[in-house]
């Protein structure tokens, strides 16, 4: 299946760190054949490959900070230009995270309209526990606290930005992966 309704599916997925964005995006790829565009995964690949960008991003990421908007906008613009994202649709995971990124995205997309921006809503205590159990390199106590703080400061206004444009759907993400998946698919189908 390549989409819902007319044309390829184009989504943005939000949610606090540890909310299960990456987890649910893997299922969206399977179900709808979309490209999973995770800026965090792209940055971690650049760090592992020790590219110039990776070397610059490494310290920012391990402290839980945000990489600069110009770098991020460039990465996403190039990625969205690729054939798979153009023809099969995409789900953006981890972008946009700031208002300037949201504004850049709307220019990058032009006529390619988003079906929805989905917020996977999970309480703070639960996401903190999930990240501690996962133990990724940036899942230190300070890193988690900093990332969650920046989410409130920088990314919460982006949710409001999408809500003001009637694009935001909220899905209760405080349940098992399978139940969250069922809720997510119903919400996407209702929005499409």
Positions touching Mg ion (CB under 5 A) are: 22
68: helix, coil or strand? Answer: coil
Closer to ligand AP5 by Cβ: residue 17 or 119: 17
Q: Which residue is nearest to ligand AP5 (CB)?
A: 40
* Residues linked to residue 14 through DSSP beta bridges, in sequence order: 119
Nearer to Mg ion, 91 or 116 (CB): 91
Given ligand AP5, Mg ion, none, residue 8, with its beta carbon under 5 to 8 Å by kind, binds none
Between 83 and 176, whose beta carbon lies closer to ligand AP5? Answer: 176
Cα pseudo-dihedral 156, 159, 98, 123, rounded to 10: 40
> What is the number of the residue whose Cβ is closest to Mg ion?
22
**CA dist., res. 18 & res. 87, Å (int):** 30
Contacts with ligand AP5, residue ranges (CB under 6 A): 15, 17-23, 39-40, 43, 60-61, 64-67, 72, 94-95, 97, 101, 130-131, 134, 147, 176-177, 180
Residue 3 touches which of ligand AP5, Mg ion, none (Cβ within 5-8 Å per kind): none
Calpha distance 126→139 (Å, rounded): 14
Distance (Å) of CA 96 to CA 100, 107, 135, 146, 186:
8, 12, 24, 18, 23
């Amino acid at each position: 299946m390549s989409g819902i309704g007319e044309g390829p599916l184009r989504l943005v997925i939000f949610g606090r760190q540890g909310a299960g964005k990456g987890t649910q995006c893997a299922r969206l790829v399977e179900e709808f054949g979309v490209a999973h565009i995770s800026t965090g995964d792209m940055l971690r690949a650049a760090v592992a490959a020790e590219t110039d960008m990776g070397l610059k991003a490494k310290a920012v990421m391990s402290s839980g900070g945000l990489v600069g908007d110009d770098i991020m906008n460039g990465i996403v613009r190039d990625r969205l230009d690729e054939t798979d994202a153009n023809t099969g649709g995409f789900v953006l995971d981890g972008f946009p995270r700031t208002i300037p990124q949201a504004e850049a995205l709307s220019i990058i997309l032009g006529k390619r309209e988003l079906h929805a921006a989905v917020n996977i809503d999970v309480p703070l205590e639960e996401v903190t526990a999930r990240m501690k159990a996962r133990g990724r390199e940036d899942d230190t106590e300070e890193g988690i606290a900093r990332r969650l703080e920046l989410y409130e400061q920088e990314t919460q206004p982006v949710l409001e930005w999408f809500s003001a444009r009637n694009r935001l759907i909220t899905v209760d993400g405080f349940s098992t992966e399978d139940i969250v998946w069922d809720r997510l698919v119903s919400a996407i189908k209702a929005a499409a």
